[in-house]
Structure 1
């Protein structure tokens, strides 16, 4: 069987994992011939052949001996430029850049078809969990009703430390940074933006609809305080940042927000850097998968899996000629734990169910809470199901 030659862009955490795996295991039949980096002189924990590193992208893109391009850099704009140029050269691409894919999803897949190449990006979503593969293959003959996901290991790690180990948000974030789960600037993770990118990608594979991430309502975990931590601990609940999308009568709704879950929920025991995805479909019913969503080798595994897809010429899903579903803003009224408001906070527009020092439980709509936040920048909300609320009432846990 032919041995494939690849060019690699980026030698960070994931890129190093991919390179090490290919060097240590010849079963993949793929060799990395050239690696493009920003700084050749940077110290790296890798043994690299002389001359394999370059700062010139053209040394890879114009190399006619290379069969595959592996794109693993951070900058979405630069990554998109690399992908477009690779396609024009007739080269197939494997990427793990969720921001690039989410922002340019439809355009990338259209260019892929135009140039007759392949583009795989399993590593862009949930690390070692093969959710895109499952949606494309396992659920291809089914109809997905909804998808819910803990899709950011950094947030899940922080929330685990806060509730299970009684840490404050700032200390939990520092631990995540010290262990390499969070960047020095953690905004994309803790704001929920990263989860939103991944949800946007999953929506296409689950429902066949391209939705720009900016259209998905968002509430992160960066405003959480002692009020919600104490509430969760008192009632034996856990806080999880969940991205979810569902279809009702051909309309797709989506959102990203922290939610309270109890021990009967599949997400309850998803801790630290692990991800979990719950898919509900017409024939299969509910199915749940979990795995490590962060780190060098979990994400590298997804990239390696896609490299094998290319090597064995696995087919890719075609873009639907016409989108038969449409996106609708989520206007559902739900129960929320709401805190972070000031003394002059106006509760009008919310159905207050319970009021305590520092927080309320109330029925409201996500978009209304977004409006309230404009005048109350520290305002935050955490959704809890009617079942959990009713249990608390029945247990007389609420005054």
Structure 2
């Protein structure tokens, strides 16, 4: 059987996992011939053959003896340049760069088709959960109505520690950094940006339209404080950062924001670095999957799965662009826990108010406008059924 050869860009957490797995398991039948890194002299936890590292990307891209390119760097602009040139050289690519894919999604597809190569990126979304494969294959004969996802292990870890172990935000973030779940600069994770990149990618595979991530409104977890934690604990709820998209009359509405969830919901028991995805489709109804969404080997597994697709020349069924579906910048009014400032809230329906927070009826776009004037404001979505139970408790307390 032919031994396939690949060039690897990036030897960080995921790149190290991919290299180690291929080195230790001959069953994959793929060898890494050259690895492009920024610093050849960096101390690493495993041995590498002499001469395998390079700082010159062209040393890999111009190598006609390589069958595939594996792109696992962080910088989305640099990654796009590498992938584009690989396509031009007739090389198929496997990537795990969610920011690059989300920002250049349609252009990457058009370039891969133009040059007759394949482009796979299962590792870009939710680590070990094969959600893109499920959406492309399992749900291809169905009609997806909505999807909701806990798609960032860093945020989920922090929220788990805050609610279940009474840690404050800074302490929980430090633990996540010490364990390697969060970067030294955690902005992309805690701001909700990372979840938004992944949601934008999933929207194409679920609904057949390309949506730029900047069109999706978001609220992160970096402003949450003890007021919300105490509120959640008081009502036996948990806080989860959830990205969601709904197809309503062929218009896709999407957002990323923290939500309060009850023990009856699938997301309630998704803790620490785990991810969870709920897909609701016309024929199959609701299906829920969970798995590790971060770390070296969970994400490396997704990359290896795509390498196997290339090795056996498998064509993953891709969604076709659906002209009749469009993205909507409208939002439904929903119930929110609102806190973080003491001023009166203009033009908003207040359902209840305590010293430290409001419960309001609004939509995410209006809340985003208010936040521009009140940067410390934060909100958390409350579903109708949870609000009804909370409201009953609050009313009972007021009657005493």
TM-score, scaled relative to structure 2? 0.97
- Give the Cα separation in 1 of the matches to 2:347 and 2:385: 23
Q: Which runs of 5+ in 2 are unaligned?
A: none
> Is the 1:217–1:254 Cα contact (8 Å) retained in structure 2?
yes
1:39 alignment counterpart: 39
Provide the C-alpha distance between the structure 2 equivalents of 1:398 and 1:140, rounded to a whole number of angstroms.
Answer: 50
Deviation per residue, 1:356-382 (Å, 9 max, x gap): 111011111111111111111100000
How far off is 1:314 after superposition?
1.2
Residues in 2 aligned to 1:397 and 1:222: alpha-carbon distance in whole angstroms: 32
Shift of 1:71: 0.2
Q: What is the aligned partner in structure 2 of residue 106 from structure 1?
A: 106
3-state SS of the aligned residue for 1:277? Answer: strand
1:170-189 aligned at under 5 Å gives the runs 170-189=170-189
Q: 1:318 to 1:123 in 2, by over 3 A?
A: closer
2:390 maps to 392
Structure 2 distance, partners of 1:332, 1:322, is: 24
CA distance in 1, matches of 2:272, 2:89: 42
- Paired position in structure 1 for 2:222: 222
Contact 1:118–1:316 (CA under 8 A) maintained in structure 2 = no
Contact 1:254 1:330 in 2 (8 A): no
Q: Deviations over 1:301-337 (max 9, x none)?
A: 0000000011111113456365220000142000000
Task: Report the number of matched residues.
Answer: 397
Q: Any conservation in 2 of the 1:9–1:36 contact (CA below 8 Å)?
A: yes
Displacement of 1:392: 1.8
Contact kept? 2:16, 2:296, Cα under 8 Å: yes
Aligned counterparts of 1:246 and 1:296: Cα–Cα separation in 2: 31
Contact 2:158 2:169 in 1 (8 A): yes
Contact 2:136 2:319 in 1 (8 A): no
Are residues 318 and 290 of structure 1, via their aligned partners in 2, closer, same or farther at CA, if it must alter by over 3 Å? closer
Looking at structure 2, the residues matched to 126 and 175 of structure 1 have their Cα atoms a distance apart, in angstroms, of: 21
Q: How does 1:147-186 map to 2 (within 5 A)?
A: 147-186=147-186
Can you give the 5+ residue segments of structure 1 that lack an aligned partner in the other structure?
Answer: none
Report 1:74-93 matches (<5 A). Answer: 74-93=74-93
Q: 1:55 to 1:137 in 2, by over 3 A?
A: same
TM norm structure 1: 0.98
Please tell me whether the aligned partners of residues 349 and 364 of structure 1 are also in contact (alpha carbons under 8 angstroms).
Answer: no
Question: Relative to structure 2, which stretch is displaced further, 310-319 or 242-251?
Answer: 310-319
Give 3-state SS (helix, strand or coil) of 1:271's partner.
coil
Contact persistence 1:70–1:94 (CA under 8 A): yes
- 1:288 alignment counterpart: 288
- C-alpha separation in 2, matches of 1:11 and 1:227: 41
Aligned counterparts of 2:330 and 2:245: Cα–Cα separation in 1: 10
RMSD: 1.1
Tell me: CA distance 1:393–1:319, structure 2 relative to 1, closer, same or farther (3 Å).
Answer: closer
SS in 2 for 1:146: strand
Q: Is the 8 A contact 1:350 1:363 kept in 2?
A: yes
CA separation in 1, counterparts of 2:61 and 2:42? 23
CA distance in 1, matches of 2:382, 2:301: 35
SS for the counterpart of 1:332 is coil
8 A Cα contact 1:34 1:60, kept in partner: yes
Deviation at 1:354, TM superposition (A): 1.2
SS at match of 1:268: helix
2:30 aligned partner: 30
Corresponding residue number in structure 2 for 1:368: 366
- Does the 8 Å CA contact 1:354/1:398 hold for their aligned counterparts? no
Does residue 1:379 correspond to 2:388, yes or no? no
- Alignment partner, residue 346 of structure 1: 344
Deviation of the 1:131 alpha carbon: 0.3
Aligned match of 2:244:
244
Deviations 1:221-258 (A, max 9, x none): 00101110100011110000000000011000000000
* Cα distance in 1 between the residues matched to 2:17 and 2:385: 43
SS in 2 for 1:267: helix
Partner Cα separation in structure 2 for residue 176 and residue 221 of structure 1: 14
Q: Which segments of structure 1 move beyond 6 Å, counting only runs of 4 or more?
A: none
